[in-house]
């Protein structure tokens, strides 16, 4: 576990999650890598809540897979410049909870690491990705409800348009961080 300018690196064994930082490769909305290094970081409060969510999932023999966490402001601009849709991305001028180390994008996986079917992939910027979408199967709705239950029981708030996005309540009390300010060497 490394501490970078008040951010904590999310890595095993302290954080037994699967890490699949989507913006470090082409499997994201831009089709291109945004991060040069796949670092997974959160601020201390968010890291504590993630630890709680990990423990809750483990009680029912499940794990979390992290797609994104801290997102340097440079990455927020790259995403916004590609798709300036405020329904799915925060305007970088106002700042994202991700750029404060106060948000995490996750899904559930079983003991073998297989992702639960949530009805859409991560970064599916469509109404099908909304937490309350009824245009997915009952099984997919149950999977989303299970993830929502674990994350909210651990103390996270959720963003209604993205089943994968969880954030601290009142994330704007934390400063926006660039890659340089955070010292994460992701960009």
List, for residues 56-96, the tens digit of each pLDDT value.
Answer: 999 999 999 999 999 999 999 999 999 999 988 999 999 99
For residue range 49-63, list pLDDT tens digits in order.
999 999 999 999 999
pLDDT over 90, % of the chain: 95
CATH tag, 3-182: 3.30.1380.10
Q: Kindly report the length of the chain.
A: 187
- By the 8 A CB rule, do 88 and 125 touch? yes
The token pair at 158 is 């959720």
Q: Is 9 a catalytic residue?
A: no
| Whole-angstrom distance, CA of residue 50 vs CA of residue 47 | 5
Residue 164 has pLDDT above 60, yes or no: yes
- What residues does each domain of the chain span? 3-182
Query: What is the predicted pLDDT for the residue at 21?
Result: 97
Two structure tokens written together for 147: 């993830």
pTM of the complete model beyond 0.85? yes
Residue tagged active-site, from 45, 61, 112, 162: 162
By CB neighbour count within 10 A (0-12 exposed, 13-18 middle, 19+ buried), where does 84 fall?
exposed
1 pLDDT above the threshold of 70: no
Task: Please name which of 60, 75, 96 lies closest in space to residue 28, comparing C-alpha atoms.
Answer: 75
pLDDT at 87: 87
Q: Residue 5: what pLDDT?
A: 58
DSSP β-bridge partners for residue 19: 66
């Amino acid at each position: 576990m490394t501490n970078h300018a008040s951010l904590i690196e999310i890595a095993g064994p302290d954080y037994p999650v699967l890490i699949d930082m989507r913006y470090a490769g082409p499997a994201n909305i831009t089709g291109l890598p945004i991060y040069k290094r796949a670092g997974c970081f959160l601020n201390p409060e968010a890291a504590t809540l993630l630890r709680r969510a990990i423990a809750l999932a483990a009680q029912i023999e499940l794990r979390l897979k992290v797609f994104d966490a801290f997102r340097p402001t440079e990455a927020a601009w790259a995403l916004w410049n590609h798709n300036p849709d405020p329904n799915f991305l925060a305007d970088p001028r106002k700042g994202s909870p991700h750029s404060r180390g106060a948000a995490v994008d996750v899904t559930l996986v079983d003991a073998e690491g297989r992702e639960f079917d949530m009805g859409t992939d991560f970064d599916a910027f469509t109404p099908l990705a909304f937490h309350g979408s009824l245009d997915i199967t009952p099984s997919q709705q149950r999977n989303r409800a299970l993830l929502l239950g674990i994350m909210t029981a651990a103390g996270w708030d959720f963003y209604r348009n993205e089943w994968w996005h969880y954030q601290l309540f009142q994330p704007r009390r934390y400063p926006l961080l660039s890659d340089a300010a955070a010292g994460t060497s992701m960009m």
